[in-house]
Amino acid sequence: MSEGKLLPFRRVEGRTKELSDRALVSAVAEGDQAALGALYDRFQRDVYRFVVRLASSSEADDFAQMTFLEAYRSAPRFRGDAAVKTWLFGIAANLVRNHHRGTQRKQRAHDSLQTMPRRPPTDPGEAITREQQRQWLARAIDMLSPALREAYVICVIEELPGKEAAQALGVREASLYRRLTDARNAIRAAIEEMQS
């Protein structure tokens, strides 16, 4: 992670180290920048790891940074219905989702799918390695629509429980599980296609 590109939030000092996650958000809502720094210190790795799976790695720093800026603006509206990490994931997912809605982004994604190789180059006699499987899975995830990718990443990779994941993405649990099933089916089909 290229942390050098991220905003230099004020570092945690004194009382902010002992505050609970929810208390930090309350302090942020009151404009406490040290609390924002503490929130950033606690969750920036999780948020970055989450957004890098939803967006390209070149955009991940920007999305992670925007997540904390949006958290600063949204903190007064935090109701505490979900864990702070879930709330931050929801903010990040919305930022990425809104970005993906742009027609220019959709066109670039479509173009990149058209030029994607059907199969990674391998020696036919060589057994498939874990690295190849990981690469195929990563490609298959990248091929998912943004809604299916969000559901797969938040449930399978980030391992958030269904109720929290649905809350973070702003969808009903039934919709989330349908998307997750569709994502798994699409990933399975894409990997089978890559292997053939």
Token pair for 108: 């670039």
| Confidence band, pLDDT 50/70/90 cuts, at residue 97 | confident
Pair 95, 153 in one domain: no
- Same domain as 182, residue 110: yes
Task: Identify the pLDDT of residue 111.
Answer: 57
d(CA 28, CA 95): 20
Instruction: Please report, for the domain that includes residue 142, its CATH number.
Output: 1.10.10.10
Contact present, 118 and 194 (Cβ < 8 Å)? yes
Predicted confidence at residue 13, as pLDDT, reads: 54
Alpha helix segments (H runs only) across the chain: 21-29, 33-54, 57-74, 84-100, 103-115, 130-143, 146-152, 162-169, 173-195
- What mean pLDDT comes out for the span 26-36? 91
2 and 96 part of one domain: yes
pTM of the model: 0.63
Q: Residues 40, 107: one domain?
A: no
Q: Is the pLDDT of residue 194 over 50?
A: yes
Under the banding of pLDDT at 50, 70 and 90, the label for residue 132 is confident
CA distances from 3 to 6, 9, 140 (A): 5, 12, 28
What total number of domains does the chain contain?
2
Residue 4 above 70 pLDDT?
Answer: no
- Structural domain range at position 115: 103-196
Looking at 101, 135, 160, the residue that finishes a domain is: 101
Q: How far apart are CA 72 and CA 101, in angstroms?
A: 24
Average pLDDT rounded to a whole number, residues 76-84: 90
End-to-end CA distance of the chain, in Å?
Answer: 34
Residues 43 and 137 in one domain: no
Q: Is residue 145 classed as helix, strand or coil in its secondary structure?
A: coil
Res 162: pLDDT: 86
Highest mean pLDDT among 85-89, 124-128, 132-136: 85-89
